[in-house]
């Protein structure tokens, strides 16, 4: 235990790694298709509200808890209040479950790098069907998923500053520049205006409780919140770092990439006469169509885009794997490599189940959904939001207000004028808001049974927390 904790190499290294965790498939794959399914502009307004009033505050709270304790999620909760150990373990479980489907989509992105050169772009009209055939194939997506997961395992096995930091620093800016280029192309296509209207002219008639929960879940997912990821990252942070400004920078970067992805996709989607509610295939169908129209350079741009998307996914998935690994190291005293290989092996199995659930195993359901949706709905709509609620209650009601202020202002060295406002949000507003949204946002039999199942899991964890 007396080992000096590994630390981020530099301030910018931390910001890039935390932003790397936040910016990922959530922004580029998930945000556009959720916005498309939930009516566009109205969803985006609600989403932005949640990012500002809930996401930012929770991120700051997670950084603070992590740095104050210098421990990953489970250890951090345990150190401050033993009865909250379960909240940390819930986070580790969430990390496992997100990694149950994330590498599948990461694998799709990886596959599309190669596919850019092997005929993906040759017949624009067939791109949608090709995607459907690809993800339903029983073998091909499994191989790509395994490749994606293997890269994760290698990076995390090498340790925090060695692997994660370097990967993030180089390729995140590339992705950003590419998205800007695609967005410019997209808005200049004939007929693009309808897409901008869809994005920025909210149609409130389509909003219901489900829209709010989708937006809340997406805010947590996209900012990597509600499961101790940012607690873990914060635990590697030096005492001189400015926490509020770090949280602000990361939230802003994450949100701008999501909005940029929306601007890149929807104008083109409408210009091509496609359906906004097309679901999880959106980015894999619309973006290649844009490149297909470019002629000779299309495949090269397409490959660069999917390389950047894969790396964005990687810098996120390594943060998920790191949560699990940090737990095994801190709490179980395992070596890094052993922790990585064992958890990686389990993720190969869950990844296979998820991928197959979109094809040959689609008849195989649990609570009315396949493995992919099971992991997705359970984390995004249930565990993350409730994890955030528990964290807010924990910070607001079980931690000392003055100590929080000390930690957040580096002992008075920096100013944080919004402290009282933040504190009131975390203590009162956020727990109530999340409870209301979760209660009214769950729709249909499948989601309701998943919610009950999720709550039962949390209850079991809470009861056995002394043993965790
Ligand atoms: N935020 C990442 C994305 O948008 C995914 C992710 C990484 C995540 N770490 C997380 C989501 C922790 C929830 C919790 O792709």
pLDDT in tens, 152-188: 998 888 875 555 566 667 777 888 998 999 999 999 9
Burial class from Cβ neighbours inside 10 Å (0-12, 13-18, 19+) for residue 24 reads buried
- The residue to mutate among 17, 18, 20, 22, having the most atoms of ligand 1 within 8 angstroms of its beta carbon, is 22
- Check residues 6 and 428 and name the one with the higher pLDDT: 428
Structure tokens, 125: 């009209």
Q: What per-residue confidence (pLDDT) applies to 464?
A: 87
Q: Is the pLDDT of residue 140 over 90?
A: yes
Identify the CATH number of the domain in which residue 430 sits.
1.20.1740
Residue 5 in domain: no
Q: What pLDDT, on a 0 to 100 scale, did the predictor assign at position 12?
A: 72
The number of the ligand 1 atom at minimal distance from the alpha carbon of 320 is: 9
Cβ of residue 218 lying under 6 Å from some atom of ligand 1: no
- Residue 1 located in a structural domain: no
Residue 3's pLDDT is: 47
What's residue 166's pLDDT?
A: 67
Ligand 1 centroid to 296 CA: how many Å?
35
**Residue 2 falls inside a structural domain:** no
Q: How far is the CA of 271 from the centre of ligand 1 (A)?
A: 31
For helices 298-332 and 165-187, what crossing angle results, to 10°?
Answer: 140
pLDDT bin (cut points 50, 70, 90) of residue 67 is: very high
27 lines ligand 1 (CB under 6 A): yes
Q: Is the pLDDT at 112 greater than 90, yes or no? A: yes
| Mean pLDDT in residue range 198-225 | 96
The C-alpha atoms of residue 351 and residue 363 are separated, in whole angstroms, by 17
Contact 68, 407 (CB under 8 A): yes
Q: What is the mean pLDDT of the chain?
A: 92
Q: What is the 8-class DSSP label of residue 361?
A: T
Three-state secondary structure call for residue 397: helix
| Residue 9: per-residue pLDDT | 61
For the purposes of burial, counting CB atoms within 10 Å of the CB of 446, is it exposed (0-12), middle (13-18) or buried (19 or more)? middle
Shortest-distance atom of ligand 1 to CA 317: 7
Quick one: pLDDT band at residue 311, thresholds 50, 70, 90?
confident
| pLDDT exceeds cutoff 90 at 93 | yes
The answer, yes or no, to whether any atom of ligand 1 lies below 6 A from the CB of 229, is: yes
What is the pLDDT at residue 4? 54
Indicate the range of 37-41, 201-205, 237-241, 345-349 predicted with least confidence: 237-241
pLDDT digits (tens, 9 = 90+) for 390-401: 999 999 999 999
> Band of the pLDDT at 326, cuts 50, 70, 90?
confident
Q: How many domains does the chain have?
A: 1
Position 6 in a domain: no
What pLDDT is stored for residue 295 in this prediction?
A: 80
User: Does 388 reside within a domain?
Assistant: yes
Lowest mean pLDDT among 170-179, 187-196, 197-206, 428-437: 170-179
The answer, yes or no, to whether any atom of ligand 1 lies below 6 A from the CB of 21, is: yes
Is 318 within 8 Å of 152 (Cβ atoms)? yes
- Output the CA 190–ligand 1 centroid distance in Å: 35
Burial of 101 (0-12, 13-18, 19+ CB in 10 A): buried
DSSP 156-201: HHH-IIIIIHHHHHHHHHHHHHHHHHHHHHHHTSTTTHHHHHHHHS
319 Cβ below 6 A of ligand 1: yes
What confidence category does residue 120 fall into, taking pLDDT thresholds of 50, 70 and 90?
Answer: very high
Is residue 3 situated within a structural domain? no
Distance of alpha carbon 325 from alpha carbon 155, whole angstroms: 12
Find out whether 89 and 468 touch, Cβ atoms under 8 Å: yes
Would you say residue 415 has pLDDT above 60?
yes
- pLDDT of 17 > 90? The answer is no
* Host domain of residue 39: 11-467
- What is the position in ligand 1's atom list of the atom closest to the CA of 379? 13
Least reliable range by pLDDT among 33-47, 169-183, 247-261, 385-399: 169-183
Q: Which residue has the tokens 């339903």?
A: 136
Residue 328 lies in a domain: yes
Q: Give the separation between CA 240 and CA 413, rounded to whole angstroms.
A: 9
- Among residues 152, 30, 28, 105, the alpha carbon closest in space to that of 351 is found at 105
14-18, 109-113, 288-292: the lowest-pLDDT one: 14-18
Residue 4 forms part of a structural domain: no
- Spatial separation of the C-alpha atoms in residues 107 and 113, rounded to whole Å: 10
Q: Given a cut of 50, is residue 2 above it in pLDDT?
A: no
Q: Does residue 320 have its Cβ closer than 6 Å to ligand 1?
A: yes
Sign of CA dihedral 254, 255, 258, 263: negative
3-state class (DSSP) for residue 53: helix
CA 137/CA 233 separation, integer angstroms: 37
The DSSP bridge partners found for residue 369 are 366
Only one residue has tokens 């039999």, namely 445
* Nearest atom (ligand 1) to Cα of 230: 12
Looking at residue 387, its pLDDT comes to 97
> Who contacts 287 (Cβ-Cβ below 8 Å, separation ≥6)?
182, 264, 265, 268, 302, 305
Structure tokens at 36: 């498309």
Asked if residue 316 has its Cβ within 6 Å of ligand 1, the reply is yes
């Amino acid at each position: 235990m007396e080992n000096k904790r590994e630390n981020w190499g530099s301030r910018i290294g931390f910001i890039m790694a935390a932003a790397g965790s936040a910016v990922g498939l959530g922004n580029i794959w998930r945000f556009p298709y959720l916005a498309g399914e939930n009516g566009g502009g109205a969803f985006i307004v609600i989403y932005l509200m949640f990012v500002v009033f809930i996401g930012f505050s929770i991120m700051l709270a997670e950084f603070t808890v992590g740095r104050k304790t210098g421990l990953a999620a489970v250890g951090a909760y345990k150190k401050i209040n033993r009865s909250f150990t379960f909240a940390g373990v819930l986070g580790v479980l969430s990390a496992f479950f997100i990694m149950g489907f994330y590498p599948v989509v990461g694998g799709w992105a990886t596959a599309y790098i190669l596919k850019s050169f092997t005929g993906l772009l040759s017949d624009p009209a067939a791109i949608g069907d090709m995607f459907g055939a690809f993800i339903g194939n029983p073998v091909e997506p499994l191989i790509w998923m395994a490749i994606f997961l293997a890269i994760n395992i290698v990076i995390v096995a090498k340790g925090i500053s060695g692997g994660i930091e370097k990967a993030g620093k180089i390729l995140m800016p590339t992705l950003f520049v590419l998205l800007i280029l695609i967005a410019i192309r997209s808005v200049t296509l004939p007929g693009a205006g309808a897409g901008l209207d869809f994005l920025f002219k909210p149609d409130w008639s389509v909003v219901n409780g489900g829209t709010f929960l989708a937006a809340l879940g997406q805010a947590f997912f996209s900012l990597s919140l509600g499961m101790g990821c940012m607690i873990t990252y914060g635990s590697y942070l030096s005492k001189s770092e400015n926490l509020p400004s770090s949280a602000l920078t990361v939230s802003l970067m994450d949100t701008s990439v999501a909005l940029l992805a929306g601007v890149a996709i929807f104008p083109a989607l409408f210009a091509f006469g496609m359906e906004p509610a097309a679901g999880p295939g959106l980015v894999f169908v619309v973006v290649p169509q844009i490149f297909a129209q470019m002629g000779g350079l299309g495949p090269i741009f397409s490959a660069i885009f999917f390389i950047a998307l894969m790396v964005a996914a990687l810098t996120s998935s390594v943060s998920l794997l790191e949560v699990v690994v940090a737990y095994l190291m801190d709490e179980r005293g395992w070596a890094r490599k052993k922790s990585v290989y064992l958890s990686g092996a389990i993720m190969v199995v869950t990844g296979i189940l998820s991928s197959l659930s979109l094809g040959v195993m689609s008849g195989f359901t649990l609570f009315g959904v396949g493995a992919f949706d099971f992991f997705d709905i359970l984390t995004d709509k249930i565990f993350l939001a409730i994890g955030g609620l528990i964290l807010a209650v924990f910070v607001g009601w079980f931690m000392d207000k003055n100590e929080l202020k000390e930690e957040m202002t580096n002992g008075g060295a920096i100013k944080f004028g919004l402290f009282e406002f933040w504190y009131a949000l975390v203590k009162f507003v956020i727990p109530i808001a999340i409870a209301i949204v979760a209660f009214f946002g769950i729709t249909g039999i499948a989601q309701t049974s998943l919610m009950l199942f999720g709550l039962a899991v949390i209850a079991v964890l809470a009861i056995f927390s002394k043993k965790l």
